[in-house]
Amino acid sequence: ANPACDRYDYIIVGGGTAGCVLANRLTEDSSKKVLVLEAGLPHGDRLVKVPVGITRLFQSHLDWNLYSGKQSQLNNRQVYSPRGKVLGGSSSTNATLYLRGTAADYDGWGMPEWGSSEARDWFIRCEDNSNGAVTGVHGAGGTMHVESPRYHNELHDVFFEAARQYGLKANPDFNDWSRSQEGYGEFQVTQERGERADMYRQYMKPVEGRPNLTVVSQARTLKIITEQQGGKPVARGCIFGMRNPASTVHQADLKPGGEVLMCAGAVHTPYLLQHSGFGRADHLQQMGIDVLSDLPGMGRNLQDHPAALTAFSLRSEKDGISITDHIYRKSGEIRMRAISNYYLRGRGPLATTACDHGAYMTTSGQAQPDLQIRFAPGSSLSPDGVETYAMFGRLKEVGKKWPSGVTFQLVGIRPQSRGGYVQLKTADPWDAPDLSTGYFTDDKNQDITTLRNGIQISRKMAKMDAFADYLQDEMWPGPGVQTDGELDEYLRNTVHSANALVGSCCMGNDARKGAVVDSQLRVHGAGNLRVVDASVIPTIPGAQTGAATVMIAERAAALIQGKIADKTMRHERQPQLV
Ligand code: FAD
């Protein structure tokens, strides 16, 4: 198939998490021709498959390697924001945690069609949980594989005991909406027998042979083409540039009545729409772009989970029990045992992204937990958790052993800040976007308070009896950082992304109040143009955002196919509904 000659019923811009789900569902009808344009590489990298490989994916050839502009509230730091640039998108590079948040998160979106009972129904339909179906909570037989973490370290048990001594209860299932989200426990993961179960592998790969599906990787969409119909811009296709051969530019066209489906993620979807003339009129005019639809909310409302950490070294008698000790010999070579355990049993330290045990807590009387603790049984080398992952393995190059220790990554899981945005730097669509994280921009300073409370809570946990025989020194923030002022300065200097960007093409009924898409995910003031990805989420859920994105894409596919009204489901693998 030649995308520049054919015409399509659906052009999917971005073969990431949501794009792979749509590619599968929309090609179930063999009469519909679907084109997927993905800017990144094809899949198939070993580092994607093995969960611990995440450490090598940051700032790699599979990453967009985005940085925010200088953030004045963060002492002018530029914050690194990883995003997957590969088929499967960020599901191919993420930490694989499978968490949905709570019912109140979805009811809080203020869009009844996407409320908690509908959301739960779709979560269950698409899930294939290896622990089996649980009525009203988990599904089995769907497409998205979920399982319990397959690496366990004695330090996890010590953390659980410390959390219990601190006063938390065990939470056996953070996705069970019939119980409080608070407590400590395991976070389930989107893996299958210890292999990353990203959305390319699960949704797109099995259907790549369908004759009505064309997938082009290294094809970067540059602009949506529209024509005026009935007084509004209607999508007709898009312009894309191929990386190989460098910079050749092509056009892909829709059949009459076809749709462009924007699945480029919370940064690139609003970015591309602005390049195409959809956005805040004054900003587009400033960039020299013709305004097709004045959408004041485009690229605004960008939300993310801010994160900070505390880390402690282990006593010398416990040296050797951290995850890094289980992976590396002192010489820095990977242990044969770790490799054989992984390849023979799908278990052990290679089968984890190292943050799949933790806790949820309410730190100052909120109705829902504001803090997620991700406990890692390994020492952070830097106060920036993302940077530590990127440094993983590199100590070998300088001939040093990774120090044994533990890390509490503290995630502001229901942030109040709304100052984040994505806009254009120039009119050149090959340029990087102008990105602002918006961390700590809330009027009442609730978000920095949550992280400050988190540091104090984790310090208290580290002092519980359970840790007495284990922990030695506090590495980060370090004993010199004690007062609120000192802690806030530490936070402004080290806060990093927990990688949950959402909200920049917010779903809502009124474009004048900032909504970009309606409840059917159609762009306000445009025709044949929808957004189906994490950017439509109005308020960030109290969970990592991959599960919510898949739920949205599954339901969107049914909406696009007109299946929602009669609830007809004709998926290939019929999910077992309980
Ligand atoms: P993506 O999956 O990012 O897909 C967007 C796709 O569009 C990409 O493939 C991109 O290359 C492509 N694209 C962009 N621009 C263009 C263009 N111009 N032309 C063509 N293609 C384009 N969630 C969890 O649930 N659990 C976790 O543990 C977790 N950890 C995370 C860790 C990291 C490092 C990251 C980055 C994310 C993490 N997330 C996690 C978040 C989750 O992965 C995302 O919320 C989700 O994948 C977003 O899906 P999406 O479809 O909106 O975007």
DSSP states of 478-507 as a string? Answer: -TT--SHHHHHHHHHHH-EE-S--B-TT-B
pLDDT score recorded for residue 395 = 66
Neighbours of 483 (CB within 10 A): 8
Handedness of CA 365, 96, 171, 477 (dihedral sign): negative
- Tell me the CATH number at 228: 3.50.50.60
- Mean pLDDT of the chain, nearest integer: 94
The answer to whether residues 61 and 175 belong to one domain is no
How far apart, in Å, are the Cα atoms of 210 and each of 35, 144, 215, 489? 12, 20, 11, 55
State which residues form the domain around 171: 150-186+306-414+440-494
431 in any annotated domain? no
The answer to whether residues 250 and 319 belong to one domain is no
pLDDT score recorded for residue 394 = 65
Ligand 1 mean position, distance from CA 89 (Å): 5
290 in any annotated domain? yes
Is pLDDT of 75 > 50? yes
Judge if the upstream peptide bond of residue 245 is cis by omega within 30 degrees of 0. Answer: yes
The answer to whether residues 266 and 344 belong to one domain is no
161 in any annotated domain? yes
The answer, yes or no, to whether ipTM is higher than 0.90 is yes
Is pLDDT of 576 > 60? no
Ligand 1 mean position, distance from CA 408 (Å): 24
**What pLDDT, in 10s, does the model give residues 473-518?**
999 999 999 999 999 999 999 999 999 999 999 999 999 999 999 9
The answer to whether residues 269 and 354 belong to one domain is no
% of the chain surpassing 70 pLDDT: 95
Is the C-beta atom of 363 inside 6 A of ligand 1?
Answer: no
Q: How confident is the model at residue 441 (pLDDT cuts 50, 70, 90)?
A: very high
The answer to whether residues 460 and 332 belong to one domain is yes
How far apart, in Å, are the Cα atoms of 434 and each of 59, 69, 287, 431? 18, 6, 12, 9
Is the C-beta atom of 379 inside 6 A of ligand 1?
Answer: no
Final residue in a domain of this structure, among 494, 526, 556: 494
Contacts of residue 42, defined as CB under 8 A and 6 or more positions apart, other chains included, come to 86, 87, 217
521 in any annotated domain? yes
Is pLDDT of 568 > 90? no
420 in any annotated domain? no
d(CA 440, CA 449): 9
How far apart, in Å, are the Cα atoms of 195 and each of 88, 107, 150, 469? 14, 33, 10, 34
Number of domains the chain is built from: 2
**What pLDDT, in 10s, does the model give residues 388-420?**
776 765 666 666 778 899 999 999 999 999 999
Is pLDDT of 385 > 90? no
pLDDT score recorded for residue 319 = 93
423 in any annotated domain? no
The answer to whether residues 466 and 548 belong to one domain is no
**What pLDDT, in 10s, does the model give residues 256-266?**
999 999 999 99
- Whether residue 92 contacts residue 42, with contact meaning beta carbons closer than 8 Å, is answered with no
The answer to whether residues 264 and 369 belong to one domain is no
d(CA 575, CA 145): 12
d(CA 174, CA 138): 11
The answer to whether residues 202 and 178 belong to one domain is no
Is the C-beta atom of 539 inside 6 A of ligand 1?
Answer: no
The answer to whether residues 330 and 251 belong to one domain is no
73 in any annotated domain? no
The answer to whether residues 362 and 336 belong to one domain is yes
Is the C-beta atom of 265 inside 6 A of ligand 1?
Answer: yes
Which residues in 507-528 are b (16+ Cβ under 10 Å) and which e?
Answer: bbeebeebbbbbbebbbbbbbb
Is pLDDT of 431 > 60? yes
